[in-house]
Amino acid sequence: MFLREKNLIDQIPIILKIFFFTFGVLIGSFLNVLIYRLPRDYNIVFPRSNCPNCNKLISWYENIPMISFIRLGGRCSGCGESISYLYPAIEFLTGLISLWLAPEYLSYDYLLNYFFLFTIMCIFLVHFIVDLKHKILPDSLNLLLFLLLLSHGWVFYKWTFWLSGLLIGFFVPFSVTWVFYLITKKIGMGGGDLKLYGCLGLYLGPIGIIYNISLSCMLGAIIGGLWLLVAKKNKNEPIPFGPFIIVISIFQIYYSDFFCRYFPCGR
């Protein structure tokens, strides 16, 4: 994580906490665009947002995060089709995440740390929802995460730490997946999951990424098994694995002191 050495102003007042929450809500609106458009290979900027049912273009005053959903009663103003509650939920959740990560001080290093951690969390959130809905992890987001964590590792860690984490994070699950395929002729883990592991290895290092692989596989086996049992799904139906990787990663990155208390991190 980024260094925190300078405290240049007093602790953040309530007005700035409101600012960080509002900023998060606005970013959450953009995350909704990514969640809808990335799996469909749509341009994330053009055209303007429209109703997927009647194709009515959404006016700017109908696209105000959270407020417009309430004002419209959760329905399209053109055709009356219900608007998914996921949209305001993502906006509100992103606002809470921004507030949770809001820096105590408005110094350069604190703000840099905030934007770094907030960006990672936004990528995690989009990955989580997209993988649950479409069973893919978009390459564009994995590339962004790779560049972000590579830049961080380049500045703050020895090259042996982040490079070994990258190699272990990608090639260990890749090897296991390849052996699994040779034996069963089934694909055990998707390419997006392998890339996500590799990206996380840049930040977590060799020991941390081994923990992530082990714990996420255990969590996936438990939750996936229960889901198949309770939902009575076909055992051959693929289960999105990205959410399990992300849950473990959140504990490792955002609760690192707690995690390292029980799992030596080797940094």
pLDDT at res. 265: 67
pLDDT at res. 125: 98
Q: Which long-range contacts (CB under 8 A, 24 or more apart) does 215-220 make?
A: 215/248, 216/241, 216/244, 216/245, 216/247, 216/248, 217/244, 219/244, 219/247, 219/248, 220/244
Q: Which residues contact 49 (CB under 8 A, 6 or more apart)?
A: 33, 57, 58, 63
Peptide bond between residue 47 and the one before it cis (omega within 30 degrees of 0):
yes
What are the Cα distances from residue 105, in Å, to 12, 50, 128, 164?
Answer: 6, 40, 30, 34
The residue count of the chain comes to 267
Write out the H or E segment, with its range, that includes residue 72.
Answer: none
Residue 64 vs residue 198, higher pLDDT = 198
Per residue in 31-52, pLDDT (tens digit) is: 999 999 999 999 988 888 888 8
Per residue in 215-247, pLDDT (tens digit) is: 999 999 999 888 878 876 666 778 899 999 999
The stretch 149-153 carries a mean pLDDT of 96
Per residue in 161-178, pLDDT (tens digit) is: 999 999 999 999 999 999
The stretch 87-92 carries a mean pLDDT of 96
pLDDT at res. 241: 94
Q: Which two tokens stand for residue 230?
A: 């309770």
Strands (E), the chain: none
Q: Is the pLDDT of residue 9 over 60?
A: no
pLDDT at res. 86: 95
